[in-house]
Amino acid sequence: MMIESEKRAAPRPWEVPGMVCRRMCGVLGIASALLLAVPIAVVAAEAPDATRRQEIETIVREYLRAHPEVVAEALQEFERREQEAQRQQATEAIRAHLTELTQDSGSPVGGNPQGRVTIVEFFDYQCGYCKREVGELTKLLQGDPDIRVVYKDLPILGPASVFAARAALASQKQGKHEALHAALMATNERLTEEGVLQIATQVGLDTAQLKKDMADPSVAKTLDRNFELQRALNIQGTPALVVGTELIPGAADFESLKTLVGRARGK
């Protein structure tokens, strides 16, 4: 399966420190294991003296210089195991929070509300990858009427994102969420409060009433619950998708979405 985050030429800014740290920890861990393994294996009952230890370290160092592919292979295995552990943790977290993910009354629902497969999307209205994901999801929904989409606003890109998220959630009271969501995702201009309200007017919302509804405590509580889920699932950015019990930390293309939906439907 190929997802958009895997196809980017470079990682997102917030991903770099974690990636570097994990790789460095992996390299250090492998080196330490190699240096410690020989003394333990050679003399299980007694620790080697300083001279013997230095000899062993020299042997290991020379071997690694002659065969650097050993470290590369070990690091690849380390990363594979780490990714598998992360997938397992995500699956467990999804199962533990499945009701909050799929049945929160404050979260807008698209697609077929009675669909047997649910896709949960975490997004920000100023996220370029999220805007590109709209086309993939639309194509999927057009070809599969048995999919339900739950929208989880995750405004992480500044005050304008928060304002847009509150407006979108509040627009449900006027029955205009689908129209406002589509319009906000379609705009290529940087969002401002004035711009969001202008878009709301264009799709037929009463903006005076919208502002009142945005102040309803239920809107803020819905966003709070979304951020709680983001922390529980260790979501690092937007978009992020949950399909069945799988977490996709990036924008999935149409074929990947079809595969994910097929797996979810088969369970």
Would you state the pLDDT for residue 29? Answer: 57
Is the whole model's pTM more than 0.75, yes or no? no
Residues 209-235 have pLDDT tens digits of 999 999 999 999 999 999 999 999 999
Structure-model confidence comparison of residues 53 and 209, the more confident one? 209
Domain termination residue (choose one: 92, 108, 138): 92
- Which pair of structure tokens corresponds to residue 192? 């401002």
**How many domains, in total, are found in the chain?**
2
- Given a contact cutoff of 8 angstroms between Cβ atoms, the answer to whether 90 and 247 are in contact is yes
234: DSSP letter: T
- CA of 192: how far to CAs of 21, 163, 173, 237, in Å? 36, 8, 22, 21
d(CA 64, CA 44): 23
Residues 199 and 229 in one domain: yes
For residue 149, list its beta bridge partners: 110, 119
Domain termination residue (choose one: 92, 111, 146): 92
Give the 3-state secondary structure percentages of the chain, helix then strand then coil, rounded to 5: 65, 10, 25
Is 242 in a helix, a strand, or coil?
strand
Would you state the pLDDT for residue 89? Answer: 83
Closest CA to 79 of 125, 25, 143, 137: 25
Determine the structural domain holding residue 198 and report its residue range.
Answer: 100-266
Residues 80-134 have pLDDT tens digits of 776 666 777 879 999 999 999 999 999 999 999 999 999 999 999 999 999 999 9
Residues 11 and 53 in one domain: yes
Q: How much of the chain exceeds pLDDT 90, in percent?
A: 65
Q: What is the CATH number of the domain that holds 253?
A: 3.40.30.10
Q: What is the per-residue DSSP string for 100-153?
A: HHHH-TTS-EEE-TT-SEEEEEEE-TT-HHHHHHHHHHHHHHHH-TTEEEEEEE
Residues 252 and 125 in one domain: yes
Of all helices (H) and strands (E), which one includes residue 243?
strand 240-243
- Listed in sequence order, the residues at least 6 apart from 171 whose beta carbon sits closer than 8 Å to its beta carbon are 177, 179, 180, 200, 205, 210, 213
Whether 54 shows a pLDDT value over 90: the answer reads no
- CA of 208: how far to CAs of 38, 76, 160, in Å? 74, 56, 18
Residues 141 and 61 in one domain: no
Residues 136 and 242 in one domain: yes
Structure-model confidence comparison of residues 87 and 160, the more confident one? 160
